[in-house]
Amino acid sequence: MRASLLILFACTIFYHSQAQDLDIPFVLDATGVPECIQACLSDLFYSAAKLVYLENPVEKFHELCRTYENASQCLENQKDICYQTTIFDIALSGLDEVCNEREEDWMEHKDCLEAHSEVVLKNCDRECRFTDVMITLSGKGNPEGLQKLQEDQEALQKEMGSVCTSFGCMSSCAARDLNINCSPAGTIIVEALLKPFFTIATIFEEIGPRAKISIYRQVPSQCYYLVDYEEVHGISHGKLPSKMTSKNPEEAVLNEITTKEEMKKKKKAELEKMFLMEAQKGR
C-alpha cells in the first residue's frame, strides 16, 4: 500500500503550482520513502513537475536529466548508510535509460522533437485528460489527504485506477504520435521511460500464481497492464493498454494462465503442421 501511495504522490507533484505548497518531508514519510534519501529526491520531483505545462518539453527534459544526475549520485552516496535504495533505483531507471543509455538515440531526432513534441503532448493530453487527472490529485496531494487515502483503501484504489488509465493513454499516444512525426523517437523515449515497468513485468512473469494474486489485490484492475510485459511493450509502440475484463485478481491470473496455454497449444500445432509439411516434401 505504501508503494501505491508513493506512485500517487509522484503523480500529484507534476502539478507544479500545488507541488510548491507540499510538506515534502511529511508526505515522503507518509509514502514510505526512507528519511536517509528524502533529500535526494525532492529537487527531482520539483523538476519533473515543470513538465506538466508541456511547453518546450525537450528543453525542460534536459533540465530534468541534469537534476536526475544529481539525485542519482546522491542516492549512490547514501547506499552505505541507507539499505532501502534498490526500489528507488528501479523506479528511476526510466530516467537513467532516457538520460544516459538511450540519449544518443533520441538526440538524433532533437530538431524534429523540438518542432513537434509540444503539439503532440498537448494533443495527447486533451485526448487522455492526463493534466486533468493530475490537477484533481493535486488537491489530495497534501499530508492530510494522503493520510485519509492511506486509511481508505477503496478511495486509494479509485484514485490509482484513474492515474493508470490516464497514464496508459498518455504514454501510448505520445509514442504513436511522436513516431508519426519523428519515427522512431516516440518508441525510443517511451520505451526508455517505461523501463521500471519492463523490469517489474519481467519479475512478475517469474513468480507463481499465488504471489500474482497477492499483487493484483493491491492495485485496481486498470493498473494490471503495468505488470504485463506484452502490454508495456505495446504501449511503447503506440498501442493502448487492453481493457481488463477480469472482475477479481483470481480471475485475472486464471485468464492469464488460460491465454498462455492457448498460445502454447497454437504454437505446438503450427510446429506440428510445419513438420508434417516438411515430411511430405521429403517423400
The torsion angle over the Cα atoms of residues 211, 159, 3 and 193, rounded to 10 degrees, is 100
More confident residue, 24 or 114: 114
Give the DSSP H/E element, type plus range, for residue 62: helix 57-78
Q: How far apart are CA 138 and CA 276, in angstroms?
A: 62
Angstrom distances, CA of residue 5 to CA of 73, 137, 200, 205: 25, 12, 17, 24
pLDDT tens-digit profile of 206-232? 887 777 788 888 888 898 898 889 999
Residues 6+ apart with CB under 8 A from 132: none
More confident residue, 262 or 116: 116
pLDDT band (50, 70, 90) for residue 119: very high
* Residue 52 in grid coordinates: 506538466
Mean pLDDT computed over every residue of the chain: 79
Average pLDDT over residues 253-257: 72
Q: How far apart are CA 43 and CA 181, in angstroms?
A: 32
Is there a domain that residue 214 lies in? Answer: yes
pLDDT tens-digit profile of 148-166? 766 777 777 788 888 889 9
- What is the pLDDT, as a whole number, of residue 186? 95
Is there a domain that residue 200 lies in? Answer: yes
Q: Which domain holds residue 201?
A: 24-140+153-242
pLDDT band (50, 70, 90) for residue 124: very high
Is there a domain that residue 19 lies in? Answer: no
Among candidate residues 143, 120, 159, the one with its CA nearest the CA of residue 11: 159
Residues 6+ apart with CB under 8 A from 217: 249
Is there a domain that residue 58 lies in? Answer: yes
pLDDT tens-digit profile of 174-197? 999 999 999 999 999 999 999 989
Sign of CA dihedral 260, 261, 267, 270: negative
Is there a domain that residue 109 lies in? Answer: yes
pLDDT tens-digit profile of 228-250? 899 999 999 999 998 765 556 67
Residues 6+ apart with CB under 8 A from 202: 229
Q: How far apart are CA 27 and CA 39, in angstroms?
A: 13
Is there a domain that residue 5 lies in? Answer: no
Evaluate if residue 12 carries a pLDDT over 60: no
What values do phi and psi take at 144, rounded to 5? Answer: -65, -40
pLDDT tens-digit profile of 30-71? 556 777 887 888 778 767 766 655 678 888 888 888 888 998
- Say what the pTM is: 0.75
Is there a domain that residue 258 lies in? Answer: no
- What is the pLDDT, as a whole number, of residue 117? 92
Q: How far apart are CA 61 and CA 222, in angstroms?
A: 28
Is there a domain that residue 264 lies in? Answer: no
Number of domains in the chain: 1
Q: How far apart are CA 193 and CA 172, in angstroms?
A: 12
Q: How far apart are CA 114 and CA 201, in angstroms?
A: 32
pLDDT band (50, 70, 90) for residue 17: very low
Angstrom distances, CA of residue 144 to CA of 24, 30, 31, 139: 13, 10, 12, 10
Percent pLDDT > 90 in the chain is 28
